[in-house]
Chains A and B, each alone.
Chain A
Amino acid sequence: MDELLQDFLSETGEHLDAAGAHLVRFEQNPRDAGDIGSIFRLVHTIKGTCGFIGLPRLERLAHSAESLVSQLRDGVPSTQEAVSLVLATVDRIKFILAELAAHAVEPSGDDEDLIAEIAAATTDGGPGEVISRPTAPVVLEAHATERTLSPMPASGEAAPNDATRQGGFPKRHDSIRVSVTLLETLMTLVSELVLTRNQLSETTDRSDEQATKVALGRLSGLLSDLQDSVMRARMQPLGRLFGSLPRLARELGRELDKPIELAVLGADTELDRQLVEVIRDPLTHLVRNCADHGLESLAERIAAGKPEHGTIQVAASHESGTVVIRVSDDGRGLDVPRIRASVLALGLASPQELDRMNDSDVCRFIFSVGFSTASFVTNVSGRGMGMDIVRRNIEAVGGSIELATTAGRGTTFSLKIPLTLAIAPALIVEIGTERFAVPQNSVTEIVELTGGSAARIDHIAEALLLRLRGDILPVCDLRLTLRLDEGAPGPEVRHAVLMQVGSFRFGVIVDRVIGTQEIVVKPLMSILGPLDLYSGNTILGDGSVVLILDAAGLARRFVPRQNQQGSVAATSPETEGSHRDPVPLILFRAGPGALKALPLTVITRIEMIDEGAIERLDGQRVTFYDGCMMPLVSAGEDDRIPATGEWPVLVVRVGGEPMGIVVSEIIDIVTAPLTIEISSRSPGLVGSARIMGQAVEFLDIMFYMQRARPEAFARGHSRRARIMLVEDRPFFRDMLAPAVIAAGYEVVVTSGAAEALATMRRSKPFDLVATDIDMPGMSGYAFARALKSDPRFSEIPVLGLAAVIAPAVLSAGKAAGMRDVVAKFDRMALVDGVAAVLGVESVQSFALEKRVLSGEAA
């Protein structure tokens, strides 16, 4: 039977038991407000819950009973008929419950007879003689039985009823209530058992006793089953928590004078009960917040052309080993200028810092301690906890909170909660002589760092980058981060453990990966203070204590200081927003003159290439690289490559084909806003800017691509698809356009939606529009909607470009009619996305390479 139904039955059984005494007294004295109130709550609860788990018959009956009881409660004099009806209805409810318990479905038939009687009694204000004192014993025989049995025994069993007496004793309850303490004790015992098992298996690993090993194997199997079952016993459907929300929304609606509808999705998603309790308050607070601040007043909604009913949606789902709860409203979105003003007023950031922040960074300030804007204090959300407490509560259990907001369209808070806290599979790694545990749910991959493997580490100043299958990930060496054995050399082959927190991917380098083990997470002692690197500690099978590394804490080590505000999510490189977002830049020297810079995202790899490995072919310098010929250009003004020695080469890919830019010295990697202060007139330079107090020239990557791979730009295609690329930032235009051109498309670039529309109206038809999502003036979403609503353009597929592919962005994109949204930092994703939408194969880099080579040979 459905667990939810089972819970409902046992709970309702208890309610009925509790109401038994009241029913008796009600029958004797139908005017006692306390008794009537109690019966009202009973039918009300039943009604609420059955609507929720889909029991229409019961719901209908409870609903009509509720109206009758509420009339009595509101002071309408009780009549004999009314009392009888109430009692008869309660009996009918018991009958249906018994059937439900026996067959898990509502019995066929209906209760129209009772409902009609109730309707008659409620509409005409209650006919018949007003009871002044208890009269004759009542109504149904079943009820008499019930009365004699009351008060109920405490066993949790409801009274027998019609069904049970007529048809023997069907199984009533498949579930019983167990005290939380007992469950916790069970869980602790299982945890200890796991530890003991781990200890035993360490011992037997060293012995040859086959019999012991076999027995231990069985023990392990049984233990993990036991662990699963106990864990499941602790799981509760979130419906438990969500059940009260519609009512909360209704009350809030009344209080705030806004019609509010609350929709619940995924109420059957299960979560450890400990965690259900932890998120109860934060969730309530978020709903309050949505109702109070998110949703507009009725007048505003009508003025904005929105449905009168504001909708708050609470949706839960399982996502890769965690539970994600999204609380969203269709209200006005966060008031970013006002938040900026408050941040300034509270001194949470300097005007300069604030200037550099994009909107989503600014929004995260609502999670900071003591933050409030004037409008944030009302009698609804003003009480209770602040958003900082919400964040802290969620992060305390290893969860995270993110928010996405669109002005005029609403706000979505996403809570990510681990399934359980108690036992987690973890990776045991070793650094120097110390071992650490890394929870497996944050680990995405483990990479062996052999010298010649596909994954390799590039050093740039002190920053480490891991290149893996075309990706570049920031990594840190835990030896250094944790200051362990800094002097002693590590093993020859080390490992990188790749992790993901929110949308941020990174890696840590460890000496050895020992294996995996189920660990029982124990919280750190408070004496250790605030150490965000560890989420707890545990005892391994051999009895040794290890610290559990916290992925979120590690992720924070990578983030520039001004981004550390707010949650873990703040660490993700979300750069939606203004063009002043800090971007990782590589600074280098090339030729005389100022330092040169390129966005790190453009570069796929940094190589040291010996002068001797450079050859001349048809007037072009090339080197053998990655199994093919790579053309080289020098970033120096005179395109000369120095004659001797080893030189750093920045490898850039043009539509999958590598080219190298030879520089004289890599200086540093910095994170700075990409703002061109002076545009350049000289070829090869985009312009210059001041970075960290130094004048720096930005290279025009397009210029070098053209020089190194002219064929990629001039390649003829019989049928070239025309693509409109809309992007307000020159940097991304310069980065994306060459990639798309190189992949064989005709590209027209515009810097805004208005310009794009104007161009499209007067130019040849386009096959695809790729647009940035976040642009000043008309956003990419609005632009997509404009295209979809124009019959001339409605058939053109639209591809969104976003800095970060968050689920919210994806769904907003789809809602606006976009085919897909791709990451704009990833040029290949754009090329692949274009190809996928246009249904053509992306040009294979290798095929192209061959073509180029054969062209050279010919």
Chain B
Amino acid sequence: MTSPTRVEATLQLLTVMAGAETFGLPVAQVQTIFHIGAITPVPLGPSSILGLVNLRGSIIPALSLRRCLGLGGEHTPVGALAVALELDTEAFALLVDDVGDVISLPAEQALPLPPHVSDARAALTQAVYRLPNGVLPVLDVSALVALPALVAPSATAELPAPVAFPSAA
């Protein structure tokens, strides 16, 4: 009786890297991982959009996780690694530095968002999970897309370093 409940409460997360940080993306929303072949910029479009890419016949906009997080130091999009994410009916590509493993976490390991995380970062974070060796913030996919005409890479906000939590506080 308890075991099905536990299965439902398990969260599968794809870990992705940007800068020195690791984030989780809900696997349910991940379509595929691919290298960007060519990208078409959208002149006068929102600055958060790097451009449009052709993913197996469908046109999807590409965002950069570094830019979303205000980290600077972006790679050129061509050849970059991207995660195709699905949101409602639309898809988009999120450029990341690297992808890691898929991990399963029991949902109850969610921690409350620490109060001193910056508002900008908190808005992008769906939840924070405890890992054996630290914490993993899970990105809110819809918040990434909803970011208002974002920040050119130069307008980097200094973000606090990832917070290491005392493991059982």
- A, B in one complex: yes
Interface residues of A (CB under 8 A from B): 192, 195, 434, 482-484, 522, 525-529, 531, 533-534, 537-539, 543-547
Partner of A544, one of B40, B45, B90, B92: B40
Q: Is A544 a contact of B44 with CB atoms below 8 Å?
A: no
Q: Which residues of A contact B40 (CB under 8 A)?
A: 434, 537, 544-547
B22 CB to nearest chain A CB (Å): 25
Q: Is A543 a contact of B90 with CB atoms below 8 Å?
A: no
15 contacts between A and B (CB under 8 A): A434-B41, A484-B43, A522-B59, A525-B92, A527-B49, A527-B92, A528-B42, A531-B42, A531-B44, A533-B43, A539-B57, A543-B37, A544-B40, A545-B54, A545-B59
Q: Is B65 in the interface zone, CB < 8 Å from A?
A: no
Q: Is B46 in the interface zone, CB < 8 Å from A?
A: yes
Q: Which residues of A contact B145 (CB under 8 A)?
A: 527
Q: Do A527 and B38 form a contact, CB below 8 Å, given A533-B44, A547-B52? A: no
B117 CB to nearest chain A CB (Å): 25
Q: Do A529 and B46 form a contact, CB below 8 Å, given A545-B52, A545-B54? A: yes
A296 and B105 alpha carbons, distance in the complex (Å)? 72
Q: Which residues of A contact B42 (CB under 8 A)?
A: 528, 531, 534, 547
Q: Which residue of the partner chain A has the closest CB to B87? A: A527
Q: Which residues of A contact B71 (CB under 8 A)?
A: none
Q: Which residues of B contact A539 (CB under 8 A)?
A: 54, 57, 59
A526 and B61 alpha carbons, distance in the complex (Å)? 10
A585 and B129 alpha carbons, distance in the complex (Å)? 66
Partner of B45, one of A192, A195, A526, A528: A528
A478 CB to nearest chain B CB (Å): 9
Docked complex: B5-63 residues within 8 A CB-CB of A: 37-38, 40-46, 49, 52-54, 57, 59-61
A529 and B90 alpha carbons, distance in the complex (Å)? 13
Nearest 7 interchain pairs by C-beta:
A482-B43, A545-B40, A545-B52, A545-B54, A545-B59, A537-B59, A525-B61
Q: Which residues of A contact B37 (CB under 8 A)?
A: 543
Q: Which residues of A contact B149 (CB under 8 A)?
A: 529
Q: Is A544 a contact of B38 with CB atoms below 8 Å?
A: yes
Interface residues of B (CB under 8 A from A): 37-38, 40-46, 49, 52-54, 57, 59-61, 90, 92, 145, 149
Q: Which residue of the partner chain A has the closest CB to B60? A: A525
In the complex, given contacts A527-B46, A528-B45, A546-B40, what are 17 additional A-B residue pairs having Cβ atoms less than 8 angstroms apart?
A195-B57, A434-B40, A525-B92, A527-B61, A528-B42, A528-B46, A529-B149, A533-B44, A537-B59, A539-B54, A543-B38, A544-B38, A544-B54, A545-B38, A545-B54, A547-B40, A547-B43
Q: Is B45 a contact of A531 with CB atoms below 8 Å?
A: yes
Q: Is B44 a contact of A482 with CB atoms below 8 Å?
A: yes
Q: Which residues of A contact B52 (CB under 8 A)?
A: 537, 545, 547
Partner of B90, one of A526, A537, A545: A526
Q: Which residues of A contact B92 (CB under 8 A)?
A: 525, 527
A181 CB to nearest chain B CB (Å): 17
A545 and B45 alpha carbons, distance in the complex (Å)? 15
Q: Do A545 and B57 form a contact, CB below 8 Å, given A483-B43, A525-B90, A529-B45? A: no
A547 and B52 alpha carbons, distance in the complex (Å)? 9
Q: Do A527 and B59 form a contact, CB below 8 Å, given A483-B44, A543-B54? A: no
Q: Which residues of A contact B41 (CB under 8 A)?
A: 434
Q: Which residues of B contact A534 (CB under 8 A)?
A: 42
Q: Which residues of A contact B60 (CB under 8 A)?
A: 525
A28 CB to nearest chain B CB (Å): 51
Q: Which residues of B contact A526 (CB under 8 A)?
A: 90
Q: Which residue of the partner chain A has the closest CB to B52? A: A545
Q: Which residues of B contact A522 (CB under 8 A)?
A: 59
B112 CB to nearest chain A CB (Å): 30
Counting chain B CB atoms within 10 Å of each CB, the highest count among A531, A534, A545 belongs to A545
A543 and B42 alpha carbons, distance in the complex (Å)? 17
Q: Which residues of B contact A538 (CB under 8 A)?
A: 59
A626 and B85 alpha carbons, distance in the complex (Å)? 62
Counting chain B CB atoms within 10 Å of each CB, the highest count among A522, A527, A537, A538 belongs to A527
A528 and B37 alpha carbons, distance in the complex (Å)? 21
A526 and B45 alpha carbons, distance in the complex (Å)? 11
A192 and B90 alpha carbons, distance in the complex (Å)? 19
A386 CB to nearest chain B CB (Å): 28
A43 and B42 alpha carbons, distance in the complex (Å)? 57
Q: Which residues of B contact A527 (CB under 8 A)?
A: 46, 49, 61, 90, 92, 145
Q: Which residue of the partner chain B has the closest CB to A526? A: B90
B124 CB to nearest chain A CB (Å): 15
Q: Which residue of the partner chain B has the closest CB to A536? A: B59
A180 and B60 alpha carbons, distance in the complex (Å)? 27
B46 CB to nearest chain A CB (Å): 5
A238 CB to nearest chain B CB (Å): 31
B40 CB to nearest chain A CB (Å): 4
Q: Which residue of the partner chain A has the closest CB to B55? A: A545
A522 and B57 alpha carbons, distance in the complex (Å)? 11
Q: Which residues of B contact A434 (CB under 8 A)?
A: 40-41, 43
Q: Which residue of the partner chain A has the closest CB to B144? A: A527
Q: Is A528 a contact of B61 with CB atoms below 8 Å?
A: yes
B44 CB to nearest chain A CB (Å): 6
A234 and B153 alpha carbons, distance in the complex (Å)? 47
Q: Which residues of B contact A528 (CB under 8 A)?
A: 42, 45-46, 49, 61
A522 CB to nearest chain B CB (Å): 6
Q: Which residues of A contact B53 (CB under 8 A)?
A: 545
A484 and B61 alpha carbons, distance in the complex (Å)? 19
A667 and B92 alpha carbons, distance in the complex (Å)? 48
A544 and B55 alpha carbons, distance in the complex (Å)? 10
A434 and B45 alpha carbons, distance in the complex (Å)? 14
A484 and B44 alpha carbons, distance in the complex (Å)? 10
A108 and B41 alpha carbons, distance in the complex (Å)? 67
Q: Which residues of B contact A533 (CB under 8 A)?
A: 43-44
Q: Which residues of B contact A195 (CB under 8 A)?
A: 57
B65 CB to nearest chain A CB (Å): 15
A107 and B78 alpha carbons, distance in the complex (Å)? 71
Q: Which residue of the partner chain A has the closest CB to B148? A: A529
Counting chain B CB atoms within 10 Å of each CB, the highest count among A538, A543, A544 belongs to A544
A484 and B38 alpha carbons, distance in the complex (Å)? 17
A529 and B61 alpha carbons, distance in the complex (Å)? 12
A509 CB to nearest chain B CB (Å): 15
Q: Which residue of the partner chain B has the closest CB to A435? A: B40
A529 and B147 alpha carbons, distance in the complex (Å)? 11
A607 and B44 alpha carbons, distance in the complex (Å)? 34
A528 and B42 alpha carbons, distance in the complex (Å)? 9
B76 CB to nearest chain A CB (Å): 13
B19 CB to nearest chain A CB (Å): 23
Q: Which residue of the partner chain A has the closest CB to B40? A: A545
A774 and B46 alpha carbons, distance in the complex (Å)? 45
B58 CB to nearest chain A CB (Å): 8
A482 and B90 alpha carbons, distance in the complex (Å)? 26
Q: Which residues of A contact B45 (CB under 8 A)?
A: 528-529, 531
Q: Which residue of the partner chain A has the closest CB to B145? A: A527
A522 and B61 alpha carbons, distance in the complex (Å)? 13
B144 CB to nearest chain A CB (Å): 10
A528 and B46 alpha carbons, distance in the complex (Å)? 6
B95 CB to nearest chain A CB (Å): 15
A525 CB to nearest chain B CB (Å): 5
Q: Which residues of B contact A525 (CB under 8 A)?
A: 59-61, 90, 92
Q: Which residues of B contact A484 (CB under 8 A)?
A: 43
Q: Which residues of B contact A531 (CB under 8 A)?
A: 42, 44-45
A191 CB to nearest chain B CB (Å): 10
A249 and B59 alpha carbons, distance in the complex (Å)? 45
Q: Which residues of B contact A192 (CB under 8 A)?
A: 57
A434 and B51 alpha carbons, distance in the complex (Å)? 12
Q: Which residues of A contact B38 (CB under 8 A)?
A: 543-545
A248 and B38 alpha carbons, distance in the complex (Å)? 53
Q: Which residue of the partner chain B has the closest CB to A543? A: B54
Q: Which residues of B contact A543 (CB under 8 A)?
A: 37-38, 54
Q: Which residues of B contact A482 (CB under 8 A)?
A: 43-44
A545 and B49 alpha carbons, distance in the complex (Å)? 14
A480 CB to nearest chain B CB (Å): 11
